[in-house]
């Protein structure tokens, strides 16, 4: 079994693979001050509740964009499972990186790219991955399988919080699709602006990426992250939704390195 861990700004997502099958998925709140001991209490409890013998876990792979938690998670795995953690970065992801400084690319964006190429790259067409996380990111993979760069925007929850915090008379609202585009209350108007504003943003950016990248007429768009399914239902520009794209990418990186592949 393989334990894949994605340490994000909002959540720590753990996926337990048996071969290629994702058997279990858990989500913990990202709290940068958590210690290795606290993390092991949570993880060991999750394993016990689902009757997973820790001795069956053969390896651990991690992507992290939260430096304060990277060491704590690694220490937790070392103490609790007795494994070294394979931490994914630009040097070992196995994806050529065309960024000016490859070390700047978030590990989650790299493993998303790895998964996109493995799952959809056979047609030799460029790919854009839209990840609806704390930030909404657009990552472009060329038809030749090179990570070319992308776009980083505030996530939809960040935008909702900003409206609440910066406008005295606007309430905090749940981000979801409203009944109509024209809101007939303040809450409905805010929901419309947030939801349909992000639909329009996705469409606009994907169209501009299509115009800029070589072979853009055949661009394939993959959505992942929290609102991917809801946004994809409102636009024809997202071709596939893969909720577990990041975990799948971590597994692909692990398998390639285990089989002797070079970074």
List active site positions: 108
- Helix 36-49 to helix 67-81 angle (10° resolution) is 60
Question: Shortest CA distance to 138 belongs to which of 212, 77, 75, 196?
Answer: 212
Strand ranges of the sheet holding 147-154, from the earlier edge strand across to the other edge: 147-154, 135-141, 127-132, 220-225, 240-241
d(CA 23, CA 1): 9
In whole angstroms, what is the distance from residue 165 CA to residue 87 CA?
Answer: 36
| Cα 104 to Cα 99: distance, rounded to the nearest angstrom | 8
Determine the Cα–Cα distance for residues 30 and 135; give it in Å rounded to an integer.
15
Are 145 and 117 contacting, i.e. CB atoms less than 8 angstroms apart? yes
Secondary structure letter of residue 97 according to DSSP: B
Q: What is the number of alpha carbons within 13 Å of residue 71 lying toward its C-beta?
A: 4
């Amino acid at each position: 079994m393989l334990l894949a861990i994605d340490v994000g700004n909002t959540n720590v997502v753990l996926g337990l693979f048996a071969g290629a099958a994702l058997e279990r998925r858990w989500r913990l709140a990202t709290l940068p001050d958590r210690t290795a001991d606290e993390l092991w209490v949570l993880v060991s409890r999750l394993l016990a509740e689902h009757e997973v013998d820790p001795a069956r876990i053969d390896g651990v792979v991690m992507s992290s964009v939260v430096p304060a938690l990277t060491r704590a998670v690694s220490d937790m795995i070392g103490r609790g499972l007795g494994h070294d953690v394979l931490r994914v970065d630009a040097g070992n992801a196995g994806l050529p990186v065309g960024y000016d400084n490859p070390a700047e690319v978030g590990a989650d964006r790299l493993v998303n790219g790895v998964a996109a190429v493995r799952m959809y790259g056979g047609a030799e067409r460029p790919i854009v991955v839209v990840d609806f996380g704390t930030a909404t990111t657009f990552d472009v993979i060329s038809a030749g399988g090179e990570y070319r760069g992308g776009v980083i925007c505030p996530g939809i929850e960040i935008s909702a919080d900003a409206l609440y915090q910066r406008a005295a008379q606007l309430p905090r609202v749940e981000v979801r699709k409203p009944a109509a585009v024209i809101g007939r209350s303040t809450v409905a108007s805010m929901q419309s602006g947030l939801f349909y504003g992000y639909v329009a943003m996705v469409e606009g950016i994907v169209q501009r990426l299509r115009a800029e990248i070589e072979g853009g007429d055949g661009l394939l768009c993959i959505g992942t992250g929290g609102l991917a399914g809801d946004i994809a239902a409102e636009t024809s520009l997202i071709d596939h939704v893969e909720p577990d794209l990041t975990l799948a990418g971590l597994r692909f990186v692990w398998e390639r390195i285990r089989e002797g592949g070079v970074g």
